Structure 1
Amino acid sequence: AAGAGAPAPAADDSDVYTDSDFDLPSYPSSRRGSGDQSYLDGMNEQQRSAILAPLVPMKVLAGPGSGKTRVLVGRVTHLINELGVPPSHILCITFTNKAAKEMRERLQASVGRDNAAAITAGTFHSVASRMLRKHVHMLESYGRGNDFAIYDESDTRALLRKILVDQFNEDKKKVDPGQAKGRISAAKSAIDHCVGVSGTRMMQALIDLRPTLKHDPGVTKDFPRLYDEYEASLRSANAMDFDDLLSATVALLQTSGEARLYYQQRWRHILVDEFQDTSLSQYELIRTLALPQNKVFVVGDVDQAIYSWRGAEVSNIRTKFDGDFAGAETVMLNKNYRSTATIVKAAAAVIGVSTSRSALELDAVTPGGKDVAVVATECEVEEANYAAREAAKIARGGVPLKEIAVLYRTHSQSRPLEEAFIRAGVPHVVVGDTAFYTRKEIKDAVAYLRVLLNPRDIVSLQRIINTPPRKIGPGTMDKLQVWSEALPWVDGAPQPLGLALLQRSWAAPSDVLEDDAALPPAGDMGLGPAAHRAVSVFVHLMQNLVQMMEGSNPGELLDEVVRAVGFEAYVTEQENGDERWGFIKELVSIAKEPAPIMDVEGLEEFEYAGGRDNSKPGEGAKGLSAFLEGISLLMTAETRSEDESADAVRLMTMHASKGLEFDTVFITGCEDKLIPFKRDEGTGKPEDEEVRLFYVGLTRAKRKLFLCRAAKRQRFGKTHFPDPSPFLDVIRDALVGGGSARKSDAGAWAGAETGNLGEGAAQRLASHLAATGVRAGTGNTFGRGGRG
Structure 2
Amino acid sequence: MSSALADAPPRAADVFADLNPEQRSAVEHGLDEHGVRGQSPLLVIAGAGSGKTKTLAARVARLIQSGADPQRLLLLTFSRRAAGEMERRAGRMLHRALGLRATQAPPRLPWSGTFHGVGARLLREYAPRIGLAPNFTLLDRADAEDLMGLQRQALGLAETAERFPLKATCLSIYSRAINGESRLDQVLQEHFPWCFPVHDELKRLFKAYVEEKQRQQLLDYDDLLLYWAELMSDDRLAAELGDRFQHVLVDEYQDTNRLQATILRRLKPSGGGLTVVGDDAQAIYSFRAAEVRNILEFPAQFDPPARVVALERNYRSTQPILEASNAVIAMARERHEKRLWTDRASSERPQLVTVEDEARQAQWVADKVLERREQGLRLKRQAVLFRTSSHAAPLELELTRRNIPFVKFGGLKFLESTHVKDVLSVLRWAENPRGRLAGFRVSQLLPGFGPASARRLIDAMAPAADPVQALRAFEPPRAAAASWTALRDLLASLIGDAQWPMDLESVVEWYAPHLERLHDDAPVRLADLEQVVRIAQGFGSRERFLTELTLDPPEASSDESGIPLKDEDYLILSTIHSAKGQEWNAVYLLNCVDGCMPSDLSTGAQAQIEEERRLLYVAMTRAKEHLAVMVPQRFYVTQQARHGDRHLHASVSRFLPGKVVRHFDKLGPANQTQAALPELARPAMDVAARLRKAWD
- How far is 1:116 from its partner? 4.0
Q: Show the 5 A alignment for 1:254-403.
A: 254-255=233-234, 257=236, 259-291=237-269, 294-403=272-381
Q: Which amino acid aligns with 2:388?
A: T
Structure 2 SS opposite 1:53 = coil
Partner of residue 237, structure 1? 216
Deviation readout 1:1-50 (Å, 9 max, x if unpaired): xxxxxxxxxxxxxxxxxx7xxxxx644239799363222x2222211221
1: CA distance, partners of 2:381 / 2:7: 40
- How far is 1:187 from its partner? 0.6
Q: Which amino acid aligns with 2:491?
A: M
Q: Which amino acid aligns with 2:25?
A: S
Partner of residue 726, structure 1? 654
* Contact 2:468-2:492 within 8 A present in 1 as well: no
C-alpha change, 1:74 and 1:279, in structure 2 (3 Å) is same
Deviation readout 1:730-778 (Å, 9 max, x if unpaired): 576332599999759x9999xxx9xx9xxxxxxxxxxxxxxxxxxxxxx
What is the TM-score normalised by the length of structure 1? 0.74
Deviation readout 1:302-329 (Å, 9 max, x if unpaired): 1111122222222211124432352421
Q: CA RMSD in A?
A: 3.8
1: CA distance, partners of 2:373 / 2:517: 38
* Contact 2:145-2:171 within 8 A present in 1 as well: yes
Q: Show the 5 A alignment for 1:733-752.
A: 733-735=661-663, 743=671
Deviation readout 1:332-379 (Å, 9 max, x if unpaired): 111111111111111112112321233111223211332423334454
- How far is 1:686 from its partner? 1.4
Share of identical aligned residues, percent? Answer: 27
Structure 1 SS opposite 2:228 = helix
C-alpha change, 1:699 and 1:731, in structure 2 (3 Å) is farther
1: CA distance, partners of 2:74 / 2:623: 32
Matched, 1:107 2:90: yes
* Alignment partner of 1:48 out of 17, 21, 24: 24
Q: Show the 5 A alignment for 1:416-435.
A: 416-435=394-413
Partner of residue 206, structure 2? 227
Matched, 1:662 2:584: yes
2: CA distance, partners of 1:389 / 1:153: 41
* Contact 1:96-1:638 within 8 A present in 2 as well: no
Q: Which amino acid aligns with 1:152?
A: D
Partner of residue 453, structure 2? 476
Partner of residue 184, structure 2? 203
Partner of residue 36, structure 1? 13
- How far is 1:251 from its partner? 1.1
2: CA distance, partners of 1:454 / 1:660: 40
C-alpha change, 1:539 and 1:717, in structure 2 (3 Å) is farther
Q: Which amino acid aligns with 1:185?
A: S
Partner of residue 503, structure 2? 557
Deviation readout 1:262-319 (Å, 9 max, x if unpaired): 4322221111111111111111222222246711111111111112222222221112
2: CA distance, partners of 1:578 / 1:376: 50
Listed as ranges, the gaps of 5+ residues in structure 2 are: 31-37, 96-103, 641-645, 684-696
Q: Show the 5 A alignment for 1:139-178.
A: 139-140=130-131, 144-170=132-158, 176-178=166-168
Aligned pair count reads 649
- How far is 1:223 from its partner? 1.6
2: CA distance, partners of 1:430 / 1:215: 33
C-alpha change, 1:145 and 1:375, in structure 2 (3 Å) is same
Structure 2 SS opposite 1:61 = strand
* Contact 1:149-1:454 within 8 A present in 2 as well: yes
* Contact 2:355-2:669 within 8 A present in 1 as well: no
Partner of residue 613, structure 1? none
Q: Which amino acid aligns with 2:126?
A: H
1: CA distance, partners of 2:373 / 2:353: 19
Matched, 1:539 2:459: no
* Alignment partner of 1:408 out of 386, 394, 404: 386
* Contact 2:414-2:556 within 8 A present in 1 as well: no
Deviation readout 1:652-683 (Å, 9 max, x if unpaired): 21111111111111211222211111227767
Partner of residue 86, structure 1? 69
2: CA distance, partners of 1:747 / 1:73: 54
1: CA distance, partners of 2:375 / 2:665: 31
Partner of residue 125, structure 1? 116
Structure 2 SS opposite 1:335 = coil
2: CA distance, partners of 1:293 / 1:318: 16
Deviation readout 1:475-531 (Å, 9 max, x if unpaired): 3334546x54xxxxxxxxxx63xx65981525xxxxxxxxxx632457xxxxx6446
Structure 2 SS opposite 1:265 = helix
Structure 1 SS opposite 2:108 = helix
C-alpha change, 1:738 and 1:521, in structure 2 (3 Å) is closer
* Contact 1:238-1:457 within 8 A present in 2 as well: yes
Q: Show the 5 A alignment for 1:625-644.
A: 625-635=543-553
2: CA distance, partners of 1:291 / 1:419: 55
Once structures 1 and 2 are overlaid, which stretch shifts more, 360-369 or 377-386? 377-386
* Contact 1:571-1:580 within 8 A present in 2 as well: no
Q: Which amino acid aligns with 1:180?
A: C
Listed as ranges, the gaps of 5+ residues in structure 1 are: 1-18, 20-24, 192-200, 485-494, 507-516, 523-527, 597-617, 757-788
- How far is 1:410 from its partner? 1.3
* Contact 1:346-1:731 within 8 A present in 2 as well: no
Deviation readout 1:177-226 (Å, 9 max, x if unpaired): 121011101110222xxxxxxxxx9535635x73884982212x212111
Structure 2 SS opposite 1:350 = helix
* Contact 1:107-1:116 within 8 A present in 2 as well: no
